[in-house]
Amino acid sequence: MPFVPGRIQTTPLPQPQLENTVSLEQALLQRRSIRSYRPVPVPLAALAQLLWAAQGVSSREGFRTAPSAGALYPLEVLLAVSRCDELAPGLYHYRPLSHDLLLWRSQDHRPAIAAAALDQECVYEAAAILVITAVPERTAVKYGSRAMRYVHLEAGHAAQNACLQAAALGLGTVTVGAFDDTALAEALALPEAVEPVYLLPVGMPV
């Protein structure tokens, strides 16, 4: 596991809700790239639902909500929290098997992430940011030079799941791929084996 902080501090997450009054078809119709958010908190239960939709465990065998080449699961999802009443600002690592958050770094990392993301306002304004990162070596062991192709496809699967879940919850989000890789990795204090792939700022729509 690449994310091992000096002091272990975990936060259990609310269990995912498996029923919703919004159908998949309605979520597809409602999904939009939303870049403006109100300066209000997002509930922890909603953030937990987004994390589960992106990379949560969906079977006893450990399979997840998004497909993965060879079930190797190279993706690691971080959650940069700015405004959540039940969670202190900080950078957290989502652990799918235990469905909890591991504190990676304390304090609000949103300004540093936004700066690395070319100063995009949607990143500055977000109540939280899902950061999809990857450990390509997990996939490369089996698939060699095709590994990064699969990693990027899997990031897209996870991001779309989160986008549809956000639509079903009435949250706003947008996928962000424009950022300086090195600056973002430094802002997140990523271990050497981990690469940033995608950002999804999240908030209550204006």
pLDDT one-digit tens code per residue, 183-204:
999 999 999 999 999 999 999 9
What are 26's two structure tokens? Answer: 């309605």
User: Is 12 inside any structural domain?
Assistant: no
Q: Supply the pTM of this predicted model.
A: 0.95
In 35-177, the DSSP E strands lie at: 75-81, 90-95, 100-106, 128-134, 172-173
Does residue 50 register a pLDDT over 80?
yes
Residue 2: the pLDDT is: 75
Three-state SS at 68? coil
> What is the predicted pLDDT for the residue at 152?
98
| Confidence at residue 107, expressed as pLDDT on a 0 to 100 scale | 95
Q: Is residue 148 part of a domain?
A: yes
Give the whole-angstrom CA distance, residue 48 versus residue 131. Answer: 14
Please report whether residue 149 resides in a domain. Answer: yes
Tell me, yes or no, whether 17 lies in a domain.
no
For residue 67, pLDDT beyond 80: yes
Beta bridge mates, 123: none
Asked whether residue 80 is assigned to any structural domain, the reply reads yes
Q: What is the pLDDT of residue 8?
A: 78
Residue 111 lies in a domain: yes
CA angle 94, 99, 105 (to 5 degrees): 30
| Number of domains forming the structure of the chain | 1
CATH code (residue 145): 3.40.109.10
Say what the pLDDT of residue 4 is: 66
Q: Which range marks the domain in which residue 164 is found?
A: 22-203
In a domain, 61, yes or no: yes
β pairing state of 172-173 and 90-95: unpaired
Which pLDDT tens digit goes with each residue over 85-143? 999 999 999 999 999 999 999 999 999 999 999 999 999 999 999 999 999 999 999 99
Which is nearest to 198 in space by CA: 96, 76, 67? 76
Mean of pLDDT values over 146-166: 98
